[in-house]
Structure 1
């Protein structure tokens, strides 16, 4: 672990030891979908139905943001597979740090590499899309992501700070690239055209995709593992 990670996680484990009353609420916070992706996805729907002269452009940006999030999540699965395995801090006895994690078997998969953070990659991607459309709300979305999604994962020892920063940087870069006019219009315009032509199946699919984003495809992954056994 580098000096940057060491300093932050030593400080946070000190806070956890000095203020144990915080530990259970933070564990609960880290596990609830309401405080993870649900709030951000709800803002995307707000933007989608918000009237205004830029409504068509805003819907294109929402489509691009959702696809950016999917791309970021898929990229995480690939990158984590090929990069050297990095043990999660909470499982590393060489750190000599006591993290306030509980029920880790359900919360964190010890066989998954810590680097980069999939949560940071995914939700910074979404928050960046919100920021590019609606600056004031986007700042709140980025703060929400930092405080309610990323920080608890470092506090509980599920990720190193550099895992979070790397994931966040990739997520933001993915959304920024996908929302450029030259890129966005190639896929967002046809998708919006299809939604207007077939709103029933279109919005059904959009809802399902948003639901899976909020849960990060957790149930589908569980089902896939069961089928592969």
Structure 2
């Protein structure tokens, strides 16, 4: 652990909240999808159906944002698997730090590398897309992502600060590139046309994709993990 990570983790574990009630609230926030995607994804739906003079552009941006979020989630898992394994602070006895993470320890998460934070990559990518569409709402979305999604994961020892900062940076870059005109028009515009031509299957798929995005495909990952254990 570098000096920056050390300073932040020591401060949070020794000088931050000492209240059992506050710690419980933070654990709930970190552990429930309601405080992650169930806040940010509905904002995208609200923007999609909101009245605007640039409806086509806005919907292309939303499609590009969702695509960026999916790419960020996949990239986060790929990087975690390909880079040298980094033990999560919560499970590293050499740190000698006490994290208020009772009830959050997960055998599957324990086998995943800490770097980078896929939560930070995914939801920062989504919040960045909201920001590029609407600066005022997007600023709130980015603040919400930092305070209610990223910070609790550091506080509870699920990630080092650098895991989260790297994830946020990668998420921002991913969405910025995906929403550029040269990129967005090539893949988002055709998808939008197909949705307009076939709204019933298009919106059904969008609903299912939103659900999986909110849960970060946890049910599918558990299914795959269980299948691998059987094999």
Note the C-alpha offset of 1:108: 6.5
Note the C-alpha offset of 1:137: 0.3
Note the C-alpha offset of 1:114: 0.3
Query: Aligned residue for 2:174?
Result: 174
Note the C-alpha offset of 1:112: 0.5
Verify the 8 A CA contact 1:16 1:22 in the aligned structure 2: no
* Residues 83-94 of structure 1 aligned to structure 2 (within 5 Å): 83-94=83-94
Query: Aligned residue for 2:121?
Result: 121
Verify the 8 A CA contact 2:89 2:158 in the aligned structure 1: yes
Query: Aligned residue for 2:211?
Result: 211
Distance 1:107 1:150, change over 3 A: farther
Task: Work out the CA distance in 2 between the residues paired with 1:90 and 1:7.
Answer: 16
Distance 1:192 1:15, change over 3 A: same
Which segments of 5 or more consecutive residues in structure 2 lack a partner in the other structure?
Answer: none
Task: Work out the CA distance in 2 between the residues paired with 1:99 and 1:32.
Answer: 18
Task: Work out the CA distance in 2 between the residues paired with 1:17 and 1:131.
Answer: 31
How many residues are treated as equivalent by the alignment? Answer: 229
Distance 1:101 1:47, change over 3 A: same
Query: Aligned residue for 2:136?
Result: 136
Which segments of 5 or more consecutive residues in structure 1 lack a partner in the other structure?
Answer: none
Task: Work out the CA distance in 2 between the residues paired with 1:23 and 1:50.
Answer: 38
Verify the 8 A CA contact 2:27 2:104 in the aligned structure 1: no
Note the C-alpha offset of 1:14: 1.5
Note the C-alpha offset of 1:141: 0.2
- 2:53 match: secondary structure: coil
Task: Work out the CA distance in 1 between the residues paired with 2:85 and 2:130.
Answer: 32
> Deviation digits for residues 38-92 of structure 1, max 9, x if unmatched?
1100000011001111111000000000000000011111111110000000111
Query: Aligned residue for 1:74?
Result: 74
Query: Aligned residue for 2:185?
Result: 185
Task: Work out the CA distance in 2 between the residues paired with 1:17 and 1:64.
Answer: 39
Note the C-alpha offset of 1:18: 3.1
- 1:109 match: secondary structure: helix
Note the C-alpha offset of 1:16: 5.0
Task: Work out the CA distance in 2 between the residues paired with 1:178 and 1:93.
Answer: 40
- 2:41 match: secondary structure: helix
Distance 1:36 1:9, change over 3 A: same
Verify the 8 A CA contact 2:124 2:172 in the aligned structure 1: yes
Verify the 8 A CA contact 1:86 1:114 in the aligned structure 2: yes
TM-score normalised according to structure 2 size: 0.96
Query: Aligned residue for 2:99?
Result: 99
Mean CA deviation greater in 17-26 or 83-92: 17-26
Task: Work out the CA distance in 1 between the residues paired with 2:169 and 2:17.
Answer: 31
- 1:52 match: secondary structure: coil
Task: Work out the CA distance in 2 between the residues paired with 1:137 and 1:157.
Answer: 30
